[in-house]
Amino acid sequence: MVRILWLALGLAVGAGMARAELNSLFPRSNAAPETATRASLFAPDARIGFFAPLPERTAPRVAAPIIGTAHVDQLLSLIARAESGSAGYDAVQHGARVRPVQLPTQMTLGEIYRWIDDTPGQPHAIGRYQFIPPTLRRVARVRGFGPETQFTPGVQDALALVLLEDAGLSQFQAGALERRQFMHNLARIWAGLPLPNSQSYYEGHAGNSAAMSWVAFDGGMARIWPVGG
């Protein structure tokens, strides 16, 4: 009888320890995952941007891309000067007659897509890097960002990096692409950036014009990447 009691007591203690282990291994925290808080690539002006913000909600955690390196950060800031100006991540193309009801950084991509679909016949460039609808949808697919993804600064930056790679960023940094050609490629993506004649690659198309001179663009690139990159 005594052996049976000791055995029962041992089982009860073991079960209690197992529960304690489970509780310590799997805490009951309901904290939402961190959301990215960085900058993006398009802003509000025919020469500035393509996106709008989404309402507050939990956004999926996004793996940090190559943003954070001084050169890339400075390049993104240089592009933003021409595209979104002081509006930054919350820029919306100035020609949009019907603007989003929320700031772009407070919106989800799905809400931005709905705003675009519900307001045909007007410009929809949005965000720090002035993403236009086809570009926004494409780079979001590349990044794997679904409609529930919030259009945060970090998400905008990650989307802009896709465009930087389209322009040849990796080749340029590796010395396989000349700086002048890289700048030309960037100007083909962002209408606010100039060609050597200080005009936009899309000069006069849909009201586009360069938002900075070639001297300013070239000087900015030389400060970021001295001696040709």
HEC string for the chain: CHHHHHHHHHHHHHHHHHHHHHHHHCCCCCCCCCCCCCCCCECCCCCCCCCCCECCCCCCCCCCCCECEHHHHHHHHHHHHHHCHHHHHHCECCCCCCCCCCCHHHEEHHHHHHHHHHCCCCCCCECCECECHHHHHHHHHHHCCCCCCECCHHHHHHHHHHHHHHCCHHHHHCCCCCHHHHHHHHHHHCCCCECCCCCECCCCHHHCCCCCCHHHHHHHHHHHCCCCC
| Residue positions counted in the chain | 229
Residue, of 142 and 19, whose pLDDT is higher: 142
> pLDDT at residue 138 above 50?
yes
Averaged pLDDT for residues 15-27: 33
Averaged pLDDT for residues 124-149: 98
Q: Percent of the chain at pLDDT above 90?
A: 65
At 206 the pLDDT is 76
Averaged pLDDT for residues 148-163: 98
* pLDDT band with cut points at 50, 70 and 90 for residue 227: confident
Indicate the range of 43-57, 114-128, 203-217 predicted with least confidence. 43-57
At 68 the pLDDT is 52
* pLDDT band with cut points at 50, 70 and 90 for residue 208: confident
* pLDDT band with cut points at 50, 70 and 90 for residue 8: very low
Averaged pLDDT for residues 81-107: 95
CATH number corresponding to 36-224: 1.10.530
At 149 the pLDDT is 98
